[in-house]
């Protein structure tokens, strides 16, 4: 179709030419993500993008995590993406977690514009929170390419899904900073082969840390909480997290020497 | 199906660039899609015509260059390609965390006239 549809005169045939562009298709989302990341950093807020297939236990894990954190006086807020219904947000609210639902309609993933809108609906300012989790739409394909400004990307793999799931969805597992094997209380019941799962994760996401948790029994939750609250901690899951040394109070500044005393 | 929203970005960016370059028509749109970008090139091709319909990009041809994931193996000091998304070096079997390419989602060029 002609770009210049308003003109009635026939344009002279123009020679075809190739224009090199190299533009990112997700440029707008990436720009939004950079802004969100800046804002989260300014508020000193760790932000997690939580991804998994539907039913891997994202919401159950967050319910339990919310309770654990509340017990330690830490505040968790969750932005919940769901195709339809606000059931997950209600479940989280019932667990005492501040939750803002995003109904994505037909969209299979969250984008930065949706997250930015949801942030304004949180009941408290970001600086009052200790952890913000963005619970993405249950989907192991589409959300992989969308940066949401998070510091830590966590992909859940439940023991009921099969050990080779990472090999089937390499793109999303490759993007993970942390892979959480969930529902480990069911591992024996489904004859989960732990070693195979760890090998599959290592084959597609060698840089990701791996933790095993159970929202039901609470096992592994402490390590997970520590990891989420300090997203810039070293990636080795086996290394115990060193407690942060308290900042030494700033020494009073020595009075500036007068310019005259600097003269030879 | 985020292929649709990606194609909307393709349409918008292609039309804006074509206008900026004083084009009369868009003949061809070239995309580069990495094998680890989480996008199915066939789904893109399938939906392309529908998304471009009725816009100045209607009638344009779509060319997709898929970019196989490529890693650098430190022990071998050489790159390797892993089209299935496995980052295990075929020479020595070591896992590599150094991805060189494969996450591209790019409008690489336009043929205009």
* Residue-wise pLDDT tens digits, A228-242: 998 765 444 433 333
Residue A122 covered by a domain: yes
> Is A256 a residue whose pLDDT tops 50?
no
CATH of residue B40's domain is 3.30.2320.80
Provide the domain count of chain B: 1
Question: Is the Cβ pair A207, B97 closer than 8 Å?
Answer: yes
* Band (A10; pLDDT cuts 50, 70, 90): low
Model pLDDT, residue A239? 38
Residue A255 has pLDDT above 50, yes or no: no
Q: What does the pLDDT look like over A62-101, one tens digit per residue?
A: 999 999 999 999 999 999 988 777 888 889 988 889 999 9
| Chain B residue with the nearest C-alpha to that of A207 | B97
Show residues of chain A in contact with B57, CB under 8 Å.
Answer: 1
Q: Domain residues for A212?
A: 27-229
Predicted confidence at residue A233, as pLDDT, reads 55
Structure tokens, A228: 């989420």
Q: Which residues from chain B sit within 8 angstroms of residue A164, using beta carbons?
A: none
Inside any domain, residue A235: no
Nearest to A184 by CA among A222, A214, A217, A216: A214
Whether the pLDDT of residue A38 is over 70: the answer is: yes
In chain A, the number of structural domains is 1
Lowest mean pLDDT among A7-11, A136-140, A217-221: A7-11
- Per residue in B64-107, pLDDT (tens digit) is 999 999 999 999 999 999 878 899 999 999 999 999 999 999 99
The mean pLDDT of A178-196, rounded to a whole number, is 97
The 10s digit of each residue's pLDDT in B13-67 is: 999 999 999 999 999 999 999 999 989 999 999 999 999 999 999 999 999 999 9
Which residues of chain B lie closer than 8 angstroms to A18, CB-CB?
A: 109-111
Task: Name every chain B residue with its beta carbon within 8 A of the beta carbon of A11.
Answer: 24
Q: What is the 3-state secondary structure of chain A?
A: CCCCCCCCCCCCCCCCEEEEEEEECCHHHHHHHHHHHHHHHHCCCCEEEEECCCCCCHHHHHHHHHHHHHHCCCCEEEEEEECCCCHHHHHHHHCCCEEEEEECCCCCCCCHHHHHHHHCCCCCCHHHCCEEEEECCCCCCHHHHCCCCCCEEEEEEEHHHCCCHHHHCHHHHHCCCEEEEECHHHCCCCCCCHHHHHHHHHHHCCCCEEEECCCCCCCCHHHHHHHHHCCCCCCCCCCCCCCCCCCCCCCCCCCCCCHHHHCC
- Tokens representing A97 are 């977690």
- CATH (domain of A171): 3.40.50.300
Query: Residue B40 is part of which domain span?
Result: 3-112
Residues of A at the B interface (Cβ-Cβ below 8 Å)? Answer: 1-5, 11, 13-28, 107-109, 141-145, 167, 170-172, 174, 202-207
> A80 near A135, Cβ under 8 Å?
yes
CB contact under 8 A, A145 and B26: no
Average pLDDT score, chain A: 85
Tokens of A112: 């930065």
């Amino acid at each position: 179709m002609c770009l210049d549809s308003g003109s009635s005169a026939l344009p002279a045939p123009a020679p075809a030419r190739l224009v090199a562009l190299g533009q990112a298709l997700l440029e707008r989302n990436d720009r939004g993500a950079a802004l969100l990341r800046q804002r989260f950093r300014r508020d000193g807020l760790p932000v997690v993008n939580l991804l998994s297939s539907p039913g891997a236990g994202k919401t159950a894990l967050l319910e339990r995590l919310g309770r654990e954190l509340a017990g330690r006086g830490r505040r968790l807020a969750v932005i919940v993406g769901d195709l339809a219904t606000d059931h997950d947000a209600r479940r989280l609210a019932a667990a005492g977690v501040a939750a803002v639902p995003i109904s994505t309609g037909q969209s299979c993933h969250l984008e930065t514009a949706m997250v930015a809108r949801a942030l304004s609906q949180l009941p408290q300012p970001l600086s009052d929170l200790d952890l913000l989790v963005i619970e993405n739409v249950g989907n192991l394909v589409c959300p992989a390419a969308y940066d949401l400004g998070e510091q830590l990307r966590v992909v859940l793999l439940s023991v009921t899904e099969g050990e080779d799931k990472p090999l089937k969805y390499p793109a999303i597992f490759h993007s993970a900073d942390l892979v959480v094997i969930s529902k480990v209380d069911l591992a024996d019941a489904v004859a989960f082969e732990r070693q195979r799962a760890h090998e599959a994760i290592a084959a597609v996401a060698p840089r990701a840390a791996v933790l095993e948790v159970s929202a039901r029994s609470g096992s592994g939750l402490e390590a997970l909480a520590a990891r989420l609250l300090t997203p810039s901690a070293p990636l080795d899951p086996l290394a115990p997290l060193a407690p942060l040394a308290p900042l030494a109070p700033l020494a009073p500044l020595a009075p500036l020497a007068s310019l005259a005393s600097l003269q030879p | 199906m985020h292929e649709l929203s990606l194609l909307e970005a393709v349409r918008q960016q292609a039309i804006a660039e074509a206008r900026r370059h004083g084009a009369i028509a868009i003949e061809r749109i070239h995309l580069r899609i990495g094998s680890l970008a989480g996008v199915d090139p066939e789904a893109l091709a399938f939906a392309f015509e529908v998304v471009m319909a009725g816009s100045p990009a209607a009638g344009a041809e779509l060319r997709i260059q898929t970019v196989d994931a490529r890693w650098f193996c430190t022990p071998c000091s050489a790159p390797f390609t892993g089209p299935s998304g496995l980052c295990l070096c075929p020479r020595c079997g070591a896992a590599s965390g150094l991805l060189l390419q494969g996450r591209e989602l790019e409008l690489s060029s336009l043929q205009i006239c």
